[in-house]
A and B are shown apart, each in its own frame.
Chain A
Amino acid sequence: MGQIVVENLAKAFHIAERQAGLLGAIRGVVARKHREVRALDGVSFSLEAGELVGYIGPNGAGKSTTVKILSGILVPSAGRCEVIGRTPWKNRIEHVAHIGVVFGQRTQLWWDLPVIESFELLRDIYRVPQSDYIKHRDELIALLDLEKLLDSPVRQLSLGQRMRCDLAASLLHAPPILFLDEPTIGLDAVSKLAVRDFVKRLNRERGVTVILTTHDMDDIEALCTRVIVIGDGKILSDGTLADLRNRVTRERWLTVDLAEANGAIDDPDVTLIRREGQRVCMSFDPQRISPAALIGRITQKHAVHDLFVENPPIETIIAKLYAEGRG
């Protein structure tokens, strides 16, 4: 039995539809149309203790809804869910004492208070014994380099600093499970690295189970051994990252900034995706031609300002998964 078990989880929201225009608004006052949105439609998975799982999907796929159900905030319409043997929405208070949650788009710190006071309030709310609190707090301060931030009011922190403090805040009670909902959203490269590094250490060294939702494929690549892809409330794929890539697409993208204004690249091994002025974006299959060889060939034929190779964005992979599912 896994530490986290989810079976056939479903969640439907009833949304009042607003009709466009003045007439629509008036009509809406009298008779409101309701629409059912299925945020989750039969999601099942199971996690062992110590796993670090990436939970990805496009906006509105149901990622956050899943995390909110797992953390006891939302009640599902149907399905079963157990986290360390507890049903989150039934034993909410006991359940949340054993998990940590971070929502990247919001903060759990008190806006006008110095960070350390938020920590102390959380200590009281979670009833962490003082000696444990000091131990956890000092470890987190050292790991996340928070020393200089502790006395600043939260409103004065940058987003990256705030996220590091939020991470610490969610772990003061040393939970065995951590839910991270888009923890790197809006962060600069340095802060993203700091967050990734921390999450990795937390998982490897402490064995904390982590579920991470993100749009950032680099997060997934840096951290996760297992990836669950969700789209339209259904699980599209569940496995290792390599499996996912191999299953859906092996292609990589090469973007080249050409020196000439109207230069064209015709190479038998690439497919043009789009052009924006001097920038040309192409896809290629690294098993047919190695990136190094391809770059060599192109730079020989064309004057190139700059170029880079990347993995196709997650949206592309999802789109392919969809097409696969329908076709």
Chain B
Amino acid sequence: MRRYWAVISTRFRMLLQYRAAAVAGIFTQSFWGFVRIMVLEAFYRSNTGASPMNLPEMAAYVWLGQALLAILPWNADPEVRSMVRTGSVAYELARPIDLYGMWYARSIAIRTAPTLLRCIPMTIFAMFVLPLIGLGEWRLIPPPSVACGLAFAIVVVGAIALSCAFTMLVNLAVLWTMSVDGLTVIAVTLVIVGSGMVIPLPLFPAWSQWIFRSLPFAGMVDLPFRLYSGNIPARDLVWLMLHQWIWVAMLVLLGRWWLSHLTQRMVVQGG
């Protein structure tokens, strides 16, 4: 275990150096947070029927999404991409360590380090600064109960595990095709829409709910955020965890199978 921990912490420390990117990210994500809330609020005001999510829940959903955006598995590990392009991936295979495990550990670092850098200032902004500037209606509410907060913390762990398992599939796609730009576009769309980052999943038509809910992307942000705001009661925690971890298991199995298949027909670039 210690070796995987060493991989995570090394990569993590490296990523914490990118402070400028984090500051830029905070600004962009705050901006998008406002845009999304304003658009959604306009819909709420013109909507006369019952809404599956009230306004504070929706605001919490949006702000958590902006704060935890970096958890989403929308790209491949940039290091894996450059290793595959230059052929340095040969060194990765020359290590006495399970390759899937090592890359999974790297994924944990790339999903958590930028998130950590961004989520604290974003939360302070959305929770405490917004009311001060007269936008209290749009603020990020604290979880309505301790149970909600705890349940949220637990599913965030599952969300990271799930996101990393999906990141691994994108990494393996890089290993498979070398250039993954086209695939990334598909992955981004799938992940962003499927996770509820464009429109919160509860606002999709009722008939489509079961599809979104059963996809793995729901477990990455949608279900955790609704647990946070109490939109889903904390007692449903077990079901959400089951959804997340079954998907983690399936994606990991798929990734491992794919990797073992790929290493049998590996071609290393550049002599």
**A and B: interacting chains:** yes
Q: Residue-by-residue, is A57-98 near B (CB-CB < 8 Å gives 1, otherwise 0)?
A: 001100010001001111100000000000000001110110
A74 touches B268 (CB 8 A): yes
Q: Which residue of A lies closest to B264 (CB)?
A: A75
Contact (A93, B96) CB under 8 Å given A73-B90, A103-B91, A113-B14: yes
B10 touches A110 (CB 8 A): yes
**Set of chain B residues within 8 Å of A13, measured between Cβ atoms:** 267
A-B contact count (CB 8 A): 78
The answer, yes or no, to whether A101 is at the interface (CB within 8 Å) is: yes
A121 touches B6 (CB 8 A): yes
The answer, yes or no, to whether A117 is at the interface (CB within 8 Å) is: yes
* In the A-B complex, the 8 residue pairs with the closest CB atoms: A97-B96, A124-B6, A108-B91, A106-B88, A73-B93, A124-B3, A101-B94, A96-B96
Residue among B2, B90, B263 with the most chain A CB within 10 A?
B90
B266 touches A107 (CB 8 A): no
B271 touches A74 (CB 8 A): no
Within 8 Å by CB of A71, from B87, B88, B94, lies B94
Within 8 Å by CB of A105, from B10, B17, B266, B270, lies B270
**Set of chain A residues within 8 Å of B94, measured between Cβ atoms:** 71-73, 96, 99, 101
Q: Residue-by-residue, is A108-145 near B (CB-CB < 8 Å gives 1, otherwise 0)?
A: 10101100010011001111000000000000000000
CB distance from A4 to the nearest CB of B (A): 16
B90 touches A103 (CB 8 A): yes
Q: Which residue of A lies closest to B82 (CB)?
A: A111
Q: Which residue of A lies closest to B14 (CB)?
A: A112
A92 CA / B86 CA spacing, docked (Å): 22
Task: Give chain B's interface residues, CB within 8 Å of chain A.
Answer: 2-3, 6-7, 10, 14, 17, 86-88, 90-91, 93-98, 102, 263-268, 270-271
- Interface size in chain A (residues, C-beta < 8 A): 32
A68 touches B96 (CB 8 A): no
Residue among B2, B14, B91, B265 with the most chain A CB within 10 A?
B91
Q: Which residue of A lies closest to B267 (CB)?
A: A13
B93 touches A92 (CB 8 A): yes
Q: Which residue of A lies closest to B87 (CB)?
A: A106
Q: Name 5 A/B residue pairs within 8 A (Cβ), A-sorted.
A: A64-B268, A64-B271, A75-B263, A103-B88, A106-B91
Contact (A125, B86) CB under 8 Å given A72-B94, A101-B94, A112-B14: no
CB distance from B83 to the nearest CB of A (A): 9
**Set of chain B residues within 8 Å of A110, measured between Cβ atoms:** 10, 14
**Set of chain B residues within 8 Å of A73, measured between Cβ atoms:** 90, 93-94, 266, 268
B3 touches A125 (CB 8 A): yes
Contact (A68, B268) CB under 8 Å given A93-B97, A113-B14: yes
Q: Residue-by-residue, is A217-241 near B (CB-CB < 8 Å gives 1, otherwise 0)?
A: 0000000000000000000000000
Within 8 Å by CB of A125, from B14, B95, B270, lies B95
B91 touches A101 (CB 8 A): yes
**Set of chain B residues within 8 Å of A108, measured between Cβ atoms:** 88, 91
A303 CA / B264 CA spacing, docked (Å): 62
Residue among B3, B102, B264 with the most chain A CB within 10 A?
B3
